[in-house]
Amino acid sequence: MHLLSHDFREILGAELVSVTGGLFAGLLLASYIDKLALIPGLLIFLPGFLEMKGSISGSLSSRLSSGMFLGIVKPKFHRSRVLRGNVIASFFLVVILSLILGSIAYLVSSFVLGINAPQIILVALIAGVISNLIEIPLTVATTFWLFRKGHDPNNIMGPYVTTLGDIVSIVALLIGILVV
């Protein structure tokens, strides 16, 4: 019997990548904090936005992984109703929740802080769409690749998509701020 099981090594590796990526995302965020302060209420919006991306992509990966283990989804890109439905649902869920989070941040900024900054809703929508266009294909491709290589995506994808979501979401948020 091995000292460390295969599953433990997969999970440990994924967690180490997650911690390293989280540090990178934090450094990226800290280096652009002056840009984030330009739009009042953005720091109210940020924690929910980052959490949402990891949760939705994690669920997408988990559904695809389960589908592959059950034989419902093939571990490659093909015209699958299940794959298409999951990707479309994940995309629209992020768009709708980005609008809701942006609206909540706007309302809190308006009523609690007395600052009228409706552009936060547009920033949230732009950041949600940009991060979706990057993160969903990476999540699907990585889930398929891991499965084809004999790994259990359920062991690896949770920390991976959380970290990927943090980095991509911060970059998308900065792009959204520049656009608005």
Reduce the secondary structure of 62-95 to three states and give it as a string: HHHHHHHHHCCCCCCCCCCHHHHHHHHHHHHHHH
| Cβ pair 76, 69 in contact under 8 A | no
Q: How do the domains of the chain map onto residue ranges?
A: 41-179
What pLDDT does residue 121 have? 93
Residue keyed to tokens 């800290």: 30
| Cβ pair 148, 75 in contact under 8 A | yes
The structure tokens listed for 43 are: 């720091």
Give the pLDDT confidence of 89-143 residue by residue, as tens digits.
999 999 999 999 999 999 999 998 888 888 999 999 999 999 999 999 999 999 9
| Cβ pair 164, 138 in contact under 8 A | yes
In the chain, alpha helices (H): 6-31, 33-36, 42-70, 81-111, 119-148, 153-179
Instruction: Compute the average pLDDT of residues 154-167.
Output: 85
27-31, 42-46, 74-78, 95-99: range with highest mean pLDDT: 95-99
C-alpha–C-alpha distance, residues 16 and 31, integer Å: 23
Q: Is the pLDDT of residue 76 over 80?
A: no
What pLDDT does residue 131 have? 93
What pLDDT does residue 4 have? 62
| Cβ pair 162, 54 in contact under 8 A | yes
CATH classification of 41-179, choosing from 3.10.580.10, 3.30.300.30, 3.30.950.10, 1.10.357.20? 1.10.357.20
Q: What is the average pLDDT value for the chain, to the nearest integer?
A: 85
What is the separation of C-alpha 3 from the centre of its chain, rounded to a whole number of angstroms? 34
What pLDDT does residue 127 have? 94
DSSP state of 114: -
